[in-house]
Structure 1
Amino acid sequence: MDYNITPEVVIFTKSDQDSGNLTTSKLLSSIFLNFLNLAAPTIVSLNQPDIPELIDQVNSSQKKKIVVIVHLRRCAEVLSKLDATIPVLAVCGGTDLNEDVYNVDYLKVMTESVQRSRAVIVFTQSMLTRFEEFWPDYKGLLKMIPQAVNVNRELAYRDLETHVDWLTKRLGVELTRYFVIVGRLRPVKDPQFALQPFIGEHIIFNPHVLCFLITTPNMK
Structure 2
Amino acid sequence: MRLLFLACLSPKTGNCTTAERIRSHVEAAGHTCELRDVSEFQSAAEVANLVAQNPPFEGALAIHLFKAGSLLLDIQVPFGVIFGGTDINEDVKVEQKRVVMEQVLQKARFAVAFTDKMKEAAELFLLSQSCKIYVQPQGIKTEAAEKFCWAEFLKNSGVSREDVDDLNVFLLVCGLRRVKDPLYLVEAFSEWHCENPQNVLVIIGPKIDPVLTVEVEAVAKSRGLPGPGEEPTGASCRLEEELRCGKQLGLGGHVRRHLGGHGCWGARGGQGHSRECSRGAE
TM-score by length of 1: 0.75
Q: Is the 8 A contact 1:68 1:89 kept in 2?
A: yes
Unaligned runs of 5+ in 2: 213-282
8 Å CA contact 1:120, 1:143 repeated in 2: yes
Distance in 1 between the 2:51 and 2:185 partners?
Answer: 44
**Which of the numbers 82, 85, 90 marks the counterpart of 1:91?**
82
Pick the aligned partner of 1:161 from 151, 165, 187: 151
The answer to whether the Cα contact below 8 Å between 2:58 and 2:78 also exists between their aligned partners in 1 is yes
Matches within 5 A, 1:100-179: 100-138=91-129, 141-154=132-145, 158-166=148-156, 173-174=161-162, 176=164, 177=167, 178-179=169-170
Cα distance in 2, alignment partners of residues 87 and 24 from structure 1: 21
Q: How many angstroms does 1:28 deviate by?
A: 1.3
**What do you get for the CA RMSD once the two structures are aligned?**
3.2
Structure 1 counterpart of 2:75: 82
Deviations 1:3-44 (A, max 9, x none): xxxx2111001110122222221121122123xx22341101
Deviations along 1:61-101, one digit per CA (max 9) or x if unpaired, are 45461100110010244123323xx0010001011011211
SS in 2 for 1:114: helix
Picking from 65, 69, 74, the partner of 2:58 is 65
1:175–1:121: structure 2 CA closer, same or farther, 3 Å change rule?
same
Residue 203 of structure 1 pairs with residue 197 of structure 2: no
| Rounded Cα–Cα distance in structure 2 between residues aligned with 1:198 and 1:132 | 33
SS in 2 for 1:67: strand
Contact 1:117–1:140 (Cα < 8 Å) also in 2: no
Cα distance change of structure 1 residues 26 and 150 upon mapping to structure 2, 3 Å threshold: farther
Superposed displacement of residue 154, structure 1 = 2.1
Q: 1:48 pairs with 40, 43, 49, which one?
A: 40
Which protein has greater RCO, CA pairs closer than 8 Å, 6+ apart? 2
The 3-state SS of whatever aligns with 1:154 is coil
Query: Which residue number in structure 2 is paired with residue 3 of structure 1?
Result: none
Task: State how far apart, in whole Å, the 1-side matches of 2:130 and 2:159 are.
Answer: 57
Report SS of the residue matched to 2:193.
coil
In 2, the alpha carbon distance for the partners of 1:206 and 1:25 equals 39
Q: Which amino acid aligns with 2:89?
A: N
Q: Does 1:11 align with 2:1?
A: no
SS of structure 2 residue aligned to 1:41: strand
Residues of 2 paired with 1:64 and 1:15: CA distance? 20
Counterpart of 1:159, as a letter, is C
Decide whether the 8 Å contact of 2:70 with 2:101 is kept in 1: no
- 1:158 counterpart SS class: coil
Alpha-carbon distance in structure 2 between the residues aligned to 1:138 and 1:198: 39
Match for 1:21 among 15, 19, 30?
Answer: 15
SS at match of 2:153: helix
Distance in 2 (CA, whole Å) between partners of 1:93 and 1:57 is 24
Secondary structure in 2 aligned to 1:89?
strand
Matched residues, number: 205
**In the aligned structure 1, how far is the partner of 2:159 from the partner of 2:87?**
42
User: For the Cα contact (< 8 Å) 1:175–1:208, is it kept in 2?
Assistant: no
Where in structure 1 are there 5+ consecutive unaligned residues? 1-6
Give aligned-pair identity as a percent: 20
Distance 1:180 1:171, change over 3 A: closer
Q: 1:118·1:140 contact (CA, 8 Å) conserved in 2?
A: no
User: Could you tell me how far 1:173 is from its partner in structure 2?
Assistant: 5.0
Is 1:38 aligned to 2:30, yes or no?
A: yes
Read off the aligned partner of 2:88 and give its amino acid letter. Answer: L
